[in-house]
Amino acid sequence: MPLIAPSLLACNFLRLEEECKMVNESSADRFHLDVMDGRFVPNISFGIPLIEHIKSVAQKPCEVHLMIEEPEKLTEAFKKAGADILIVHIETCRNLHRNIQQIKSLGMKAGVAINPHTPARALSEIMEDIDEVCVMSVNPGFGGQKFIDHTYKKIRELKKMIHERALHIQIEIDGGVTLDNAAGIVHAGADVLVAGNTVFKASDPKNIIDQLKNI
Ligand code: DX5
Ligand code: ZN
């Protein structure tokens, strides 16, 4: 059974509290919060004040996906805002190992995200140190994009690497997850499914979360 992480990027921000309550009451496992800086990705989303508000009502762990340059400068601020899991992009970290240690020393779980063009093997020397790999199955920056099919191969490669080293890293898939492709993604080896539009644009989001969970 996969873990489900609804991405609030697709929620109705005018009804943020109700959207958070829906996630609390659903079978989802964690909140997925997408932070964008308009530099690493061509879009700006939300930041620390909003995460603080979400954290104040969230009854499940908050995972913060940082699509920002120099994430190390804000690690502590995101911890204070309420991040339980902090995900940084390999493409933005010149000292990734140091960043991971920094995240863990503050008591958060550490995730590393990789863009569609970044091969699974780029994680080879850091795998022992992280809790989660976030495989981008779209180019980061926007919700509602189409799933990129070569992601299946990358998931299988990562699963093999993790298995061979007997590690306990979760593989999370982020972008374009739907009821149609979720089974194939889980079959390839994914442990966590992020879903934005598929959940929040549905008339019965809790039911969609149940369906993803029981895929
Ligand atoms: C994209 C974000 C995703 C996004 C997913 O850059 O990282 O988390 O919200 O949205 P959907 O599920 O709609 O593709
Ligand atoms: Zn994300």
CA distance 45 to 58: 19
139 in contact with ligand 1, CB cutoff 6 A: no
Q: Give the per-residue pLDDT at 116.
A: 98
Pocket test for ligand 1, best of 12, 65, 174 (most atoms within 8 A of CB): 174
User: Of all atoms in ligand 1, which is nearest to the CA of residue 141?
Assistant: 6
User: Of all atoms in ligand 1, which is nearest to the CA of residue 7?
Assistant: 9
> pTM of the full predicted structure?
0.98
Q: Give the per-residue pLDDT at 126.
A: 98
pLDDT averaged over consecutive 10-residue blocks of the chain (215 residues)?
A: 98 98 98 98 98 98 98 98 98 98 98 98 98 98 98 98 98 98 98 98 98 97
What residues pack around ion ligand 2 (CB closer than 5 A)? 34, 65, 174
Q: Give the per-residue pLDDT at 169.
A: 98
* 195 C-alpha to ligand 2 centroid (Å): 9
112: which strand partners?
88, 133
- Can you give the CATH number for the domain in which 15 is found? 3.20.20.70
Domain range holding 82? Answer: 3-213
Reduced to 3 states, what is the DSSP secondary structure of residue 135?
strand
141 in contact with ligand 1, CB cutoff 6 A: yes
Number of structural domains in the chain: 1
Reduced to 3 states, what is the DSSP secondary structure of residue 44?
strand
CA distance 187 to 87: 24
